[in-house]
Chains A and B, each alone.
Chain A
């Protein structure tokens, strides 16, 4: 008897008293995350608006300046982020099936891929800084014959920088998930933080899916 009540207690220890059941709590958390993601889309939307306005003013600048961006590494990073989206989805699947080891392994792979993304980004930035391609008034590169070249790179650094910041925050969140998972916090009846972080991570991937062709692939 006490055994049964103990398992029920274990299954529902995550349930807050103001929710009817686990399911309602899960759906509410997810709804809250989607609203947050909407604000994220509008936040990045402001940066995309700046991109579009300047591109409509100086189309030839974008074609010239984007040749300084390395398509190969941009494509590799796109693949890395898609791979990490896949492993996050696999992590959620593991949690749903109560496979906590699988959950932790998939989170480790995701964290590793996120680091690969940031290392590639670091080398891209370092190479540009070496050439004197800094944002705004610190721009000293002579290789692009356009007086507004610094503006393209201000937009480039702002968009990829804020995106990179999101990747770093995602790494932090996933380290926290690994810590919680190792303490046994997640099981098939409760994996809300994994699901929510997964949604965030997929949005970061979606933003990059748009950044890659818009910045790197303008012939």
Chain B
């Protein structure tokens, strides 16, 4: 009847994804014990968070098996977020005098 069956993840697989996310959480705390020099500690923290978010989106939110259009919406929202950040920083980073009362 239906055109295609919805993807059903096995319990084992879902637990595996959960455990991977726990391990990445431990890792993101553990890297703060190693003193990574200034700009790179932020880069590492964000990189681990992006990996975790990607795992959640792909395997818990089922984007991996889903219509590619939904993935596109997620990626577009991330791109527009970066556009917001980028254009804002082009202003705020290059002010000679940061807004006085802020």
Contact = CB atoms under 8 A, between A and B. Distances in A.
Contacts of B66: 30
Interface string B1-42: 111101011010011011001100100110010010000011
A38 B11 contact: no
30 contacts: A21-B2, A34-B73, A34-B74, A41-B74, A42-B80, A45-B81, A45-B85, A52-B88, A53-B89, A53-B92, A56-B89, A75-B29, A79-B22, A82-B18, A88-B60, A89-B18, A90-B14, A96-B6, A96-B8, A202-B57, A202-B61, A203-B61, A209-B56, A210-B49, A212-B25, A212-B28, A213-B48, A213-B49, A214-B45, A217-B32
Interface of A: 21-23, 26-27, 30-31, 34-35, 37-38, 41-42, 45-46, 48-49, 52-53, 56-57, 71, 75, 78-79, 82-83, 85-86, 88-90, 93, 96-97, 151, 198-199, 202-203, 205-206, 209-210, 212-214, 217-219
Given A21-B2, A30-B66, A89-B14, 17 more contacts: A31-B69, A34-B70, A34-B74, A41-B77, A41-B81, A42-B77, A52-B88, A53-B88, A75-B25, A85-B18, A86-B18, A90-B11, A96-B8, A206-B52, A210-B53, A212-B49, A214-B46
B32 to A, nearest CB: 5
